[in-house]
Structure 1
Amino acid sequence: MASSSASQTPPLGKYLASTDKKTRDKAVKNLAAFLSDPDRPHLSDHEMDKLWKGIFYYQKVASFEFLGGFWRTIVREWGGIDRLRMDKYYMLIRRFVNASFRLLMRCDWDFGSLQTYNDILIRKGGPLCPDDNRVPPSLKYHLADVYLEELEKVLAWDSEATDERPPRAPLDAVIAPFLTVLARTSSNHTFERVMSAVLEPLIQSLASPGAAEPPSKKRRRLLGDELSYIADNSCISSSSTVDKSSLHRALLNHVFSVASEQDTRDWNRRRLYKFWKSNLEDDHDDDRARGEVDGS
Protein backbone atom coordinates (compact mmCIF):
# COMPACT_ATOMS: atom_id res chain seq x y z
CA MET A 1 0.00 0.00 0.00
CA ALA A 2 1.37 3.39 -0.93
CA SER A 3 2.24 5.46 2.11
CA SER A 4 1.30 8.82 0.65
CA SER A 5 -2.26 9.84 1.38
CA ALA A 6 -2.16 12.03 -1.71
CA SER A 7 -2.02 8.89 -3.87
CA GLN A 8 -5.34 7.62 -2.50
CA THR A 9 -7.46 10.34 -4.08
CA PRO A 10 -7.05 12.08 -7.44
CA PRO A 11 -6.49 15.86 -7.45
CA LEU A 12 -9.67 17.82 -8.00
CA GLY A 13 -10.12 19.19 -11.50
CA LYS A 14 -10.29 22.73 -10.16
CA TYR A 15 -6.68 22.43 -8.94
CA LEU A 16 -5.49 21.20 -12.32
CA ALA A 17 -7.27 24.17 -13.89
CA SER A 18 -6.02 26.68 -11.30
CA THR A 19 -4.55 29.99 -12.52
CA ASP A 20 -1.69 29.52 -10.03
CA LYS A 21 1.19 27.54 -11.56
CA LYS A 22 2.37 26.08 -8.25
CA THR A 23 -1.11 24.77 -7.54
CA ARG A 24 -1.34 23.23 -11.02
CA ASP A 25 2.11 21.64 -10.77
CA LYS A 26 1.34 20.16 -7.35
CA ALA A 27 -1.95 18.76 -8.71
CA VAL A 28 -0.12 17.10 -11.64
CA LYS A 29 2.40 15.59 -9.22
CA ASN A 30 -0.41 14.23 -7.05
CA LEU A 31 -2.16 12.87 -10.14
CA ALA A 32 1.00 11.01 -11.19
CA ALA A 33 1.27 9.50 -7.69
CA PHE A 34 -2.38 8.49 -7.74
CA LEU A 35 -2.24 6.82 -11.16
CA SER A 36 0.98 4.94 -10.37
CA ASP A 37 -0.47 3.44 -7.17
CA PRO A 38 -1.60 -0.15 -7.92
CA ASP A 39 -3.84 -0.06 -4.83
CA ARG A 40 -5.63 3.16 -5.71
CA PRO A 41 -9.43 3.19 -5.39
CA HIS A 42 -11.67 2.76 -8.42
CA LEU A 43 -12.84 5.97 -10.10
CA SER A 44 -16.51 6.30 -10.97
CA ASP A 45 -17.52 7.70 -14.37
CA HIS A 46 -18.44 10.99 -12.68
CA GLU A 47 -15.05 11.24 -10.96
CA MET A 48 -13.23 10.36 -14.17
CA ASP A 49 -15.16 13.04 -16.08
CA LYS A 50 -14.25 15.65 -13.46
CA LEU A 51 -10.60 14.61 -13.60
CA TRP A 52 -10.47 14.79 -17.38
CA LYS A 53 -12.16 18.17 -17.39
CA GLY A 54 -9.45 19.45 -15.07
CA ILE A 55 -6.72 17.97 -17.27
CA PHE A 56 -8.32 19.54 -20.33
CA TYR A 57 -8.39 23.01 -18.84
CA TYR A 58 -4.91 22.58 -17.35
CA GLN A 59 -3.61 22.64 -20.89
CA LYS A 60 -4.82 20.84 -24.01
CA VAL A 61 -1.25 19.89 -24.94
CA ALA A 62 -0.79 18.34 -21.49
CA SER A 63 -3.91 16.24 -22.09
CA PHE A 64 -2.37 14.69 -25.19
CA GLU A 65 0.98 14.23 -23.44
CA PHE A 66 -0.92 12.38 -20.70
CA LEU A 67 -2.53 10.14 -23.33
CA GLY A 68 0.81 9.51 -25.01
CA GLY A 69 2.36 8.44 -21.73
CA PHE A 70 -0.54 6.14 -21.00
CA TRP A 71 -0.30 4.32 -24.33
CA ARG A 72 3.48 4.00 -24.19
CA THR A 73 3.15 2.43 -20.75
CA ILE A 74 0.37 0.06 -21.85
CA VAL A 75 2.39 -1.14 -24.86
CA ARG A 76 5.51 -1.59 -22.76
CA GLU A 77 3.83 -3.42 -19.86
CA TRP A 78 1.09 -5.35 -21.67
CA GLY A 79 2.99 -8.61 -21.86
CA GLY A 80 3.57 -8.64 -18.11
CA ILE A 81 -0.06 -8.19 -17.02
CA ASP A 82 -1.40 -11.06 -14.96
CA ARG A 83 -4.12 -12.77 -16.99
CA LEU A 84 -6.37 -12.77 -13.93
CA ARG A 85 -6.26 -8.96 -13.93
CA MET A 86 -6.62 -8.56 -17.68
CA ASP A 87 -10.31 -7.68 -17.56
CA LYS A 88 -9.49 -4.63 -15.42
CA TYR A 89 -6.99 -3.43 -18.03
CA TYR A 90 -9.45 -4.06 -20.83
CA MET A 91 -11.90 -1.80 -19.00
CA LEU A 92 -9.18 0.79 -18.36
CA ILE A 93 -8.44 0.95 -22.09
CA ARG A 94 -12.14 1.29 -22.89
CA ARG A 95 -12.38 4.22 -20.47
CA PHE A 96 -9.33 5.92 -21.98
CA VAL A 97 -10.77 5.54 -25.49
CA ASN A 98 -14.02 7.11 -24.31
CA ALA A 99 -12.22 9.93 -22.49
CA SER A 100 -10.07 10.58 -25.58
CA PHE A 101 -13.17 10.98 -27.75
CA ARG A 102 -14.65 13.36 -25.18
CA LEU A 103 -11.47 15.41 -25.24
CA LEU A 104 -11.57 15.56 -29.05
CA MET A 105 -15.24 16.54 -28.98
CA ARG A 106 -14.46 19.40 -26.56
CA CYS A 107 -11.88 20.49 -29.14
CA ASP A 108 -14.71 20.44 -31.73
CA TRP A 109 -12.88 17.62 -33.53
CA ASP A 110 -10.42 20.17 -34.94
CA PHE A 111 -7.84 18.86 -37.41
CA GLY A 112 -4.78 19.59 -35.28
CA SER A 113 -6.13 17.78 -32.23
CA LEU A 114 -7.19 14.75 -34.27
CA GLN A 115 -3.82 14.64 -36.00
CA THR A 116 -2.03 14.77 -32.63
CA TYR A 117 -4.18 12.02 -31.18
CA ASN A 118 -3.92 9.78 -34.25
CA ASP A 119 -0.14 10.18 -34.24
CA ILE A 120 -0.05 8.98 -30.63
CA LEU A 121 -1.80 5.77 -31.72
CA ILE A 122 0.19 4.91 -34.86
CA ARG A 123 3.72 6.17 -34.18
CA LYS A 124 6.47 3.86 -32.90
CA GLY A 125 5.45 2.66 -29.45
CA GLY A 126 1.80 3.46 -30.11
CA PRO A 127 -0.85 0.75 -29.71
CA LEU A 128 -1.81 0.79 -33.40
CA CYS A 129 1.63 1.17 -34.94
CA PRO A 130 1.43 -1.21 -37.92
CA ASP A 131 5.15 -2.02 -38.13
CA ASP A 132 6.31 -2.05 -34.50
CA ASN A 133 6.81 -5.65 -33.39
CA ARG A 134 6.73 -4.60 -29.74
CA VAL A 135 2.99 -3.88 -29.97
CA PRO A 136 1.05 -6.99 -28.86
CA PRO A 137 -1.60 -8.03 -31.43
CA SER A 138 -4.13 -8.57 -28.64
CA LEU A 139 -3.88 -4.88 -27.75
CA LYS A 140 -4.71 -3.91 -31.35
CA TYR A 141 -7.62 -6.36 -31.31
CA HIS A 142 -9.11 -4.93 -28.13
CA LEU A 143 -8.80 -1.36 -29.38
CA ALA A 144 -10.55 -2.34 -32.59
CA ASP A 145 -13.32 -4.08 -30.64
CA VAL A 146 -14.17 -1.09 -28.41
CA TYR A 147 -13.49 1.86 -30.73
CA LEU A 148 -16.88 2.22 -32.40
CA GLU A 149 -18.76 1.30 -29.24
CA GLU A 150 -17.14 4.14 -27.30
CA LEU A 151 -17.52 6.61 -30.17
CA GLU A 152 -21.23 5.75 -30.28
CA LYS A 153 -21.54 6.54 -26.56
CA VAL A 154 -19.76 9.88 -26.89
CA LEU A 155 -21.88 10.95 -29.86
CA ALA A 156 -25.14 9.93 -28.17
CA TRP A 157 -27.51 12.87 -28.15
CA ASP A 158 -30.72 13.02 -26.17
CA SER A 159 -32.84 15.62 -27.98
CA GLU A 160 -35.34 15.63 -25.10
CA ALA A 161 -32.66 16.44 -22.52
CA THR A 162 -30.82 19.15 -24.50
CA ASP A 163 -31.25 21.15 -27.68
CA GLU A 164 -27.49 21.28 -28.21
CA ARG A 165 -26.39 18.67 -30.75
CA PRO A 166 -22.81 17.49 -30.20
CA PRO A 167 -20.31 18.61 -32.87
CA ARG A 168 -20.20 16.17 -35.76
CA ALA A 169 -17.25 13.80 -35.80
CA PRO A 170 -15.25 13.60 -39.08
CA LEU A 171 -15.35 9.85 -39.60
CA ASP A 172 -12.48 9.69 -42.08
CA ALA A 173 -10.14 11.33 -39.54
CA VAL A 174 -11.52 9.44 -36.54
CA ILE A 175 -10.85 6.01 -38.06
CA ALA A 176 -7.64 7.05 -39.85
CA PRO A 177 -5.38 5.03 -37.49
CA PHE A 178 -7.24 1.85 -38.35
CA LEU A 179 -7.03 2.57 -42.06
CA THR A 180 -3.27 2.93 -41.59
CA VAL A 181 -3.24 -0.49 -39.95
CA LEU A 182 -5.27 -1.97 -42.82
CA ALA A 183 -2.88 -0.47 -45.36
CA ARG A 184 0.40 -1.41 -43.75
CA THR A 185 0.00 -4.41 -41.43
CA SER A 186 1.77 -7.61 -42.44
CA SER A 187 -0.53 -9.70 -40.25
CA ASN A 188 -3.54 -11.36 -41.84
CA HIS A 189 -5.16 -11.80 -38.42
CA THR A 190 -4.79 -8.09 -37.60
CA PHE A 191 -6.18 -7.12 -41.01
CA GLU A 192 -9.20 -9.40 -40.57
CA ARG A 193 -9.90 -8.17 -37.02
CA VAL A 194 -9.80 -4.48 -37.95
CA MET A 195 -12.01 -5.10 -40.98
CA SER A 196 -14.63 -7.04 -39.00
CA ALA A 197 -14.57 -4.80 -35.92
CA VAL A 198 -14.22 -1.32 -37.45
CA LEU A 199 -14.51 -0.81 -41.19
CA GLU A 200 -17.22 -3.32 -42.12
CA PRO A 201 -19.64 -2.40 -39.30
CA LEU A 202 -19.13 1.32 -39.95
CA ILE A 203 -19.76 1.06 -43.69
CA GLN A 204 -22.74 -1.21 -43.03
CA SER A 205 -24.27 1.27 -40.57
CA LEU A 206 -24.18 3.96 -43.26
CA ALA A 207 -25.55 1.76 -46.05
CA SER A 208 -29.15 2.00 -47.14
CA PRO A 209 -31.46 -0.64 -45.59
CA GLY A 210 -31.15 -3.89 -47.50
CA ALA A 211 -28.11 -2.75 -49.48
CA ALA A 212 -25.91 -5.51 -48.09
CA GLU A 213 -25.89 -8.26 -45.51
CA PRO A 214 -23.81 -7.86 -42.34
CA PRO A 215 -20.25 -9.12 -42.95
CA SER A 216 -20.17 -11.54 -40.04
CA LYS A 217 -22.33 -12.74 -37.16
CA LYS A 218 -19.63 -11.74 -34.72
CA ARG A 219 -20.11 -8.02 -35.32
CA ARG A 220 -23.83 -8.19 -36.08
CA ARG A 221 -24.67 -6.55 -32.74
CA LEU A 222 -22.78 -3.43 -33.79
CA LEU A 223 -24.71 -2.87 -36.98
CA GLY A 224 -27.80 -0.89 -37.91
CA ASP A 225 -29.44 0.94 -35.04
CA GLU A 226 -26.57 0.00 -32.73
CA LEU A 227 -24.44 2.67 -34.45
CA SER A 228 -27.24 5.14 -35.07
CA TYR A 229 -25.58 8.01 -33.19
CA ILE A 230 -22.41 7.66 -35.26
CA ALA A 231 -24.45 7.63 -38.45
CA ASP A 232 -26.51 10.67 -37.40
CA ASN A 233 -23.73 12.78 -35.85
CA SER A 234 -20.85 12.38 -38.25
CA CYS A 235 -19.42 14.06 -41.31
CA ILE A 236 -16.43 13.86 -43.65
CA SER A 237 -13.53 16.29 -43.19
CA SER A 238 -13.57 17.61 -46.73
CA SER A 239 -17.34 17.93 -47.13
CA SER A 240 -20.26 19.66 -45.47
CA THR A 241 -22.68 16.94 -46.64
CA VAL A 242 -23.91 14.84 -43.74
CA ASP A 243 -26.66 12.54 -45.06
CA LYS A 244 -25.96 8.83 -44.61
CA SER A 245 -25.80 7.97 -48.31
CA SER A 246 -23.21 10.66 -49.00
CA LEU A 247 -21.22 9.66 -45.91
CA HIS A 248 -21.27 6.06 -47.11
CA ARG A 249 -19.84 6.90 -50.51
CA ALA A 250 -17.37 9.46 -49.19
CA LEU A 251 -15.97 6.97 -46.69
CA LEU A 252 -15.69 4.31 -49.39
CA ASN A 253 -13.83 6.81 -51.58
CA HIS A 254 -11.49 7.46 -48.65
CA VAL A 255 -10.82 3.73 -48.39
CA PHE A 256 -9.97 3.73 -52.11
CA SER A 257 -7.54 6.62 -51.58
CA VAL A 258 -5.80 4.82 -48.73
CA ALA A 259 -5.56 1.66 -50.84
CA SER A 260 -3.94 3.72 -53.60
CA GLU A 261 -1.20 5.19 -51.40
CA GLN A 262 2.37 4.23 -52.25
CA ASP A 263 3.23 2.69 -48.87
CA THR A 264 0.17 0.41 -48.83
CA ARG A 265 1.23 -3.23 -49.03
CA ASP A 266 0.24 -4.89 -52.31
CA TRP A 267 -1.68 -7.69 -50.59
CA ASN A 268 -3.57 -5.20 -48.44
CA ARG A 269 -4.20 -2.96 -51.45
CA ARG A 270 -5.92 -5.75 -53.35
CA ARG A 271 -8.20 -6.57 -50.42
CA LEU A 272 -9.11 -2.93 -49.80
CA TYR A 273 -9.90 -2.45 -53.50
CA LYS A 274 -12.11 -5.55 -53.36
CA PHE A 275 -13.93 -4.20 -50.30
CA TRP A 276 -14.39 -0.81 -51.97
CA LYS A 277 -15.70 -2.29 -55.19
CA SER A 278 -18.09 -4.71 -53.49
CA ASN A 279 -19.68 -2.06 -51.30
CA LEU A 280 -19.84 0.48 -54.11
CA GLU A 281 -21.66 -2.02 -56.30
CA ASP A 282 -24.13 -2.71 -53.48
CA ASP A 283 -24.71 1.03 -53.20
CA HIS A 284 -25.35 1.34 -56.95
CA ASP A 285 -27.67 -1.66 -56.92
CA ASP A 286 -29.69 -0.02 -54.16
CA ASP A 287 -29.85 3.25 -56.13
CA ARG A 288 -31.21 1.35 -59.13
CA ALA A 289 -33.77 -0.44 -56.96
CA ARG A 290 -34.97 2.86 -55.52
CA GLY A 291 -35.24 4.30 -59.00
CA GLU A 292 -37.37 1.40 -60.17
CA VAL A 293 -39.68 1.83 -57.18
CA ASP A 294 -39.94 5.59 -57.70
CA GLY A 295 -40.67 5.08 -61.40
CA SER A 296 -43.29 2.39 -60.95
Structure 2
Amino acid sequence: MAADERSMPFIKNLASSERKVRTEALTTLRTFLTASTTTRTLSPLDHLKLWKGLFYALYMADRPIPQQNLCAELAALVGILPDDAVVPFLRGFWETMSRQWTSIDVLRMEKFMLLVRRVLGASFVWARESGPIKTNKKSKNTKEATKAEAMLALLREWPIEEMGDLAKVAVGLRLHVLDIWVDEVERAGMTGESATDADAEFLQGLKAVVEKQIKSPSKPCRVRAKEGLSDERLPWNEKGDDEDMEEDGEETKDAEEKDGWGGFDD
Protein backbone atom coordinates (compact mmCIF):
# COMPACT_ATOMS: atom_id res chain seq x y z
CA MET A 1 0.00 0.00 0.00
CA ALA A 2 1.25 3.44 -0.86
CA ALA A 3 2.41 5.58 2.02
CA ASP A 4 0.11 8.51 2.70
CA GLU A 5 0.66 11.77 4.56
CA ARG A 6 -0.10 10.11 7.88
CA SER A 7 2.99 7.90 7.46
CA MET A 8 5.04 10.79 6.00
CA PRO A 9 3.89 13.76 8.13
CA PHE A 10 7.19 15.54 7.56
CA ILE A 11 6.36 16.27 3.91
CA LYS A 12 4.39 19.45 4.59
CA ASN A 13 7.07 20.61 7.03
CA LEU A 14 9.68 20.44 4.25
CA ALA A 15 7.96 23.44 2.69
CA SER A 16 7.66 25.40 5.92
CA SER A 17 8.63 29.07 5.91
CA GLU A 18 10.68 28.43 9.06
CA ARG A 19 14.19 27.12 8.48
CA LYS A 20 14.26 25.18 11.76
CA VAL A 21 11.10 23.27 10.83
CA ARG A 22 12.51 22.45 7.37
CA THR A 23 15.79 21.24 8.90
CA GLU A 24 14.01 18.95 11.36
CA ALA A 25 11.81 17.58 8.59
CA LEU A 26 14.88 16.77 6.47
CA THR A 27 16.45 14.92 9.40
CA THR A 28 13.24 12.90 9.78
CA LEU A 29 13.28 12.17 6.05
CA ARG A 30 16.81 10.74 6.26
CA THR A 31 15.73 8.40 9.03
CA PHE A 32 12.67 7.43 7.01
CA LEU A 33 14.72 6.65 3.90
CA THR A 34 17.27 4.51 5.73
CA ALA A 35 14.49 2.07 6.69
CA SER A 36 14.79 -0.20 3.67
CA THR A 37 11.51 -2.02 4.26
CA THR A 38 9.69 1.31 4.26
CA THR A 39 11.51 2.77 1.27
CA ARG A 40 10.80 -0.24 -0.91
CA THR A 41 7.04 0.09 -0.34
CA LEU A 42 6.86 3.64 -1.70
CA SER A 43 4.81 4.04 -4.85
CA PRO A 44 5.64 6.38 -7.75
CA LEU A 45 3.06 8.79 -6.31
CA ASP A 46 4.79 8.67 -2.92
CA HIS A 47 8.10 9.63 -4.55
CA LEU A 48 6.41 12.54 -6.28
CA LYS A 49 4.98 13.70 -2.95
CA LEU A 50 8.43 13.48 -1.36
CA TRP A 51 10.10 15.44 -4.13
CA LYS A 52 7.38 18.05 -4.19
CA GLY A 53 8.11 18.66 -0.52
CA LEU A 54 11.86 18.74 -1.18
CA PHE A 55 11.33 21.07 -4.13
CA TYR A 56 9.60 23.60 -1.90
CA ALA A 57 12.18 23.11 0.85
CA LEU A 58 14.76 24.48 -1.58
CA TYR A 59 12.27 27.00 -2.96
CA MET A 60 11.89 28.51 0.52
CA ALA A 61 15.62 28.42 1.34
CA ASP A 62 17.38 31.77 1.15
CA ARG A 63 21.01 32.92 1.17
CA PRO A 64 23.65 31.21 -0.98
CA ILE A 65 25.48 29.06 1.61
CA PRO A 66 22.34 27.42 3.08
CA GLN A 67 21.06 26.84 -0.47
CA GLN A 68 24.31 25.18 -1.52
CA ASN A 69 24.36 23.03 1.59
CA LEU A 70 20.77 21.95 1.06
CA CYS A 71 21.47 20.98 -2.56
CA ALA A 72 24.37 18.83 -1.39
CA GLU A 73 22.23 17.24 1.35
CA LEU A 74 19.42 16.39 -1.06
CA ALA A 75 21.84 14.83 -3.54
CA ALA A 76 23.45 12.84 -0.72
CA LEU A 77 20.12 11.08 -0.09
CA VAL A 78 20.98 8.88 -3.08
CA GLY A 79 23.83 7.40 -1.07
CA ILE A 80 21.70 6.26 1.88
CA LEU A 81 19.02 4.46 -0.14
CA PRO A 82 18.95 0.70 -0.77
CA ASP A 83 20.12 -0.08 -4.30
CA ASP A 84 16.71 -1.01 -5.65
CA ALA A 85 15.17 2.20 -4.25
CA VAL A 86 17.58 4.59 -5.97
CA VAL A 87 16.11 4.63 -9.49
CA PRO A 88 12.48 5.06 -8.32
CA PHE A 89 13.64 7.89 -6.04
CA LEU A 90 15.52 9.60 -8.87
CA ARG A 91 12.65 9.06 -11.27
CA GLY A 92 10.48 11.02 -8.85
CA PHE A 93 13.13 13.77 -8.81
CA TRP A 94 13.34 14.11 -12.59
CA GLU A 95 9.58 13.99 -13.04
CA THR A 96 9.13 16.68 -10.39
CA MET A 97 11.81 18.91 -11.90
CA SER A 98 10.32 18.43 -15.36
CA ARG A 99 6.90 19.48 -14.10
CA GLN A 100 8.15 22.48 -12.15
CA TRP A 101 10.97 23.78 -14.33
CA THR A 102 9.04 26.33 -16.38
CA SER A 103 7.41 27.75 -13.24
CA ILE A 104 10.71 28.57 -11.49
CA ASP A 105 11.29 32.31 -11.49
CA VAL A 106 14.60 33.77 -12.59
CA LEU A 107 15.64 34.71 -9.05
CA ARG A 108 15.39 31.09 -7.89
CA MET A 109 16.60 29.33 -11.03
CA GLU A 110 20.28 29.27 -10.05
CA LYS A 111 19.74 27.15 -6.92
CA PHE A 112 17.61 24.63 -8.81
CA MET A 113 20.25 24.38 -11.52
CA LEU A 114 22.73 23.60 -8.75
CA LEU A 115 20.40 20.94 -7.36
CA VAL A 116 20.19 19.27 -10.78
CA ARG A 117 23.98 19.32 -11.04
CA ARG A 118 24.44 17.78 -7.59
CA VAL A 119 21.82 15.07 -8.14
CA LEU A 120 23.21 14.19 -11.57
CA GLY A 121 26.70 13.96 -10.07
CA ALA A 122 25.46 11.70 -7.25
CA SER A 123 23.72 9.56 -9.86
CA PHE A 124 26.96 9.03 -11.77
CA VAL A 125 28.81 8.15 -8.57
CA TRP A 126 26.16 5.54 -7.76
CA ALA A 127 26.21 4.19 -11.32
CA ARG A 128 29.98 3.77 -11.07
CA GLU A 129 29.65 1.23 -8.27
CA SER A 130 30.20 -2.22 -9.73
CA GLY A 131 27.86 -5.17 -9.78
CA PRO A 132 24.12 -5.71 -10.17
CA ILE A 133 21.54 -3.84 -8.16
CA LYS A 134 21.09 -5.48 -4.78
CA THR A 135 17.52 -6.36 -3.83
CA ASN A 136 15.84 -7.94 -0.86
CA LYS A 137 14.28 -10.56 -3.10
CA LYS A 138 15.77 -13.55 -4.83
CA SER A 139 15.58 -12.78 -8.51
CA LYS A 140 14.61 -15.50 -10.95
CA ASN A 141 16.22 -13.61 -13.80
CA THR A 142 19.44 -15.05 -15.16
CA LYS A 143 20.81 -11.54 -15.64
CA GLU A 144 20.12 -8.69 -13.25
CA ALA A 145 20.49 -5.09 -14.33
CA THR A 146 23.65 -3.34 -13.24
CA LYS A 147 23.61 0.12 -11.71
CA ALA A 148 25.13 1.55 -14.88
CA GLU A 149 22.45 -0.04 -17.08
CA ALA A 150 19.66 1.15 -14.78
CA MET A 151 21.03 4.71 -14.76
CA LEU A 152 21.31 4.87 -18.55
CA ALA A 153 17.73 3.65 -18.86
CA LEU A 154 16.57 6.37 -16.44
CA LEU A 155 18.44 9.08 -18.35
CA ARG A 156 16.80 7.91 -21.58
CA GLU A 157 13.42 8.07 -19.88
CA TRP A 158 13.65 11.52 -18.28
CA PRO A 159 16.27 14.27 -18.35
CA ILE A 160 17.70 13.29 -21.75
CA GLU A 161 14.46 11.74 -22.96
CA GLU A 162 15.24 10.30 -26.37
CA MET A 163 11.92 10.69 -28.19
CA GLY A 164 12.13 14.49 -28.28
CA ASP A 165 8.95 14.98 -26.24
CA LEU A 166 9.39 18.60 -25.19
CA ALA A 167 6.12 18.49 -23.28
CA LYS A 168 7.57 15.78 -21.03
CA VAL A 169 10.98 17.34 -20.36
CA ALA A 170 11.27 21.10 -20.68
CA VAL A 171 13.87 22.46 -23.10
CA GLY A 172 15.56 24.45 -20.34
CA LEU A 173 16.05 21.36 -18.18
CA ARG A 174 17.38 19.36 -21.14
CA LEU A 175 19.80 22.13 -22.02
CA HIS A 176 21.11 22.32 -18.47
CA VAL A 177 21.75 18.56 -18.32
CA LEU A 178 23.43 18.68 -21.74
CA ASP A 179 25.61 21.53 -20.44
CA ILE A 180 26.82 19.77 -17.30
CA TRP A 181 26.99 16.02 -17.95
CA VAL A 182 30.64 16.06 -19.03
CA ASP A 183 31.61 18.05 -15.93
CA GLU A 184 29.86 15.54 -13.71
CA VAL A 185 31.29 12.37 -15.29
CA GLU A 186 34.72 13.94 -14.89
CA ARG A 187 34.01 14.80 -11.25
CA ALA A 188 32.82 11.23 -10.68
CA GLY A 189 36.21 9.97 -11.89
CA MET A 190 34.97 8.42 -15.12
CA THR A 191 37.48 10.21 -17.32
CA GLY A 192 41.24 10.63 -17.27
CA GLU A 193 43.76 8.42 -15.51
CA SER A 194 41.33 7.19 -12.85
CA ALA A 195 38.86 5.84 -15.42
CA THR A 196 38.27 2.09 -15.65
CA ASP A 197 37.04 -0.16 -18.44
CA ALA A 198 33.61 -0.09 -16.80
CA ASP A 199 33.69 3.72 -16.91
CA ALA A 200 34.52 3.64 -20.61
CA GLU A 201 31.62 1.28 -21.24
CA PHE A 202 29.23 3.54 -19.31
CA LEU A 203 30.41 6.60 -21.23
CA GLN A 204 29.81 4.82 -24.52
CA GLY A 205 26.26 4.13 -23.38
CA LEU A 206 25.86 7.75 -22.31
CA LYS A 207 27.24 8.87 -25.65
CA ALA A 208 24.48 6.93 -27.40
CA VAL A 209 21.87 8.62 -25.18
CA VAL A 210 23.20 12.13 -25.90
CA GLU A 211 23.52 11.43 -29.64
CA LYS A 212 19.74 11.06 -29.78
CA GLN A 213 19.50 14.77 -28.93
CA ILE A 214 21.23 15.63 -32.19
CA LYS A 215 17.87 14.91 -33.83
CA SER A 216 15.90 16.89 -31.24
CA PRO A 217 13.16 19.22 -32.52
CA SER A 218 14.89 21.93 -30.46
CA LYS A 219 17.85 23.51 -32.25
CA PRO A 220 19.58 24.58 -28.99
CA CYS A 221 19.43 20.96 -27.80
CA ARG A 222 21.00 19.77 -31.05
CA VAL A 223 23.79 22.31 -30.69
CA ARG A 224 24.49 21.51 -27.01
CA ALA A 225 24.50 17.78 -27.68
CA LYS A 226 27.16 18.17 -30.38
CA GLU A 227 29.24 20.47 -28.18
CA GLY A 228 29.14 18.03 -25.28
CA LEU A 229 30.07 15.02 -27.40
CA SER A 230 33.07 16.89 -28.82
CA ASP A 231 34.45 17.80 -25.37
CA GLU A 232 38.16 16.96 -25.26
CA ARG A 233 37.84 15.39 -21.81
CA LEU A 234 35.87 12.47 -23.24
CA PRO A 235 37.89 9.38 -24.18
CA TRP A 236 36.81 9.29 -27.83
CA ASN A 237 38.18 12.84 -28.28
CA GLU A 238 41.56 12.23 -26.66
CA LYS A 239 44.57 12.45 -28.97
CA GLY A 240 47.09 9.65 -28.99
CA ASP A 241 50.78 10.28 -28.52
CA ASP A 242 51.52 9.34 -32.13
CA GLU A 243 48.96 11.80 -33.41
CA ASP A 244 50.33 14.53 -31.16
CA MET A 245 53.86 13.86 -32.39
CA GLU A 246 52.71 13.90 -35.98
CA GLU A 247 50.92 17.21 -35.49
CA ASP A 248 53.94 18.67 -33.69
CA GLY A 249 56.14 17.58 -36.56
CA GLU A 250 53.86 19.15 -39.13
CA GLU A 251 53.71 22.38 -37.14
CA THR A 252 57.53 22.46 -36.88
CA LYS A 253 57.89 21.82 -40.58
CA ASP A 254 55.36 24.56 -41.41
CA ALA A 255 57.19 26.97 -39.11
CA GLU A 256 60.55 26.17 -40.70
CA GLU A 257 59.16 26.66 -44.18
CA LYS A 258 57.61 29.94 -43.14
CA ASP A 259 60.44 31.38 -41.05
CA GLY A 260 63.49 29.54 -42.38
CA TRP A 261 66.01 30.91 -44.90
CA GLY A 262 64.89 30.07 -48.40
CA GLY A 263 68.17 30.82 -50.18
CA PHE A 264 69.16 33.71 -52.52
CA ASP A 265 66.53 35.31 -54.63
CA ASP A 266 67.09 35.00 -58.36
User: Which range moves more in the overlay, 169-178 or 40-49?
Assistant: 40-49
AA aligned to 2:165 is: D
Alignment of 1:164-243 (within 5 A): 168-169=198-199, 170=201, 171-182=203-214, 184-201=215-232, 202=234, 205-208=237-240, 211=243
Deviations for 1:106-158, whole angstroms, at most 9, x for unmatched residues?
A: 245986433332232233x5443342021332222211111011111110799
* 1:181–1:50 CA distance, 2 compared to 1 (3 A): closer
Decide whether the 8 Å contact of 2:75 with 2:115 is kept in 1: no
1:117 aligns with 2:151: yes
Percent identity reads 21
Show structure 2 runs of 5+ residues with no match. Answer: 1-14, 134-144, 251-266
Show structure 1 runs of 5+ residues with no match. Answer: 213-284, 290-296
Decide whether the 8 Å contact of 1:13 with 1:51 is kept in 2: yes
AA aligned to 1:137 is: V
1:54 aligns with 2:76: no
- State the SS of the aligned residue for 2:27: coil
AA aligned to 2:166 is: N
From 152, 169, 181, the equivalent of 2:186 is 152
- TM-score, normalisation: structure 2: 0.60
Decide whether the 8 Å contact of 1:79 with 1:136 is kept in 2: yes
1:75 aligns with 2:98: yes
1:91 aligns with 2:114: yes
- Root-mean-square deviation (CA), in Å? 4.2
* 1:118–1:156 CA distance, 2 compared to 1 (3 A): closer
Q: 1:100 deviation in Å? A: 0.5
Decide whether the 8 Å contact of 1:122 with 1:129 is kept in 2: yes
* 1:106–1:17 CA distance, 2 compared to 1 (3 A): farther
* 1:115–1:204 CA distance, 2 compared to 1 (3 A): closer
AA aligned to 1:92 is: L
Q: 1:189 deviation in Å? A: 3.0
- TM-score, normalisation: structure 1: 0.54
Max Rg structure: 2
Decide whether the 8 Å contact of 1:12 with 1:54 is kept in 2: no
Aligned length: 205
AA aligned to 1:143 is: V
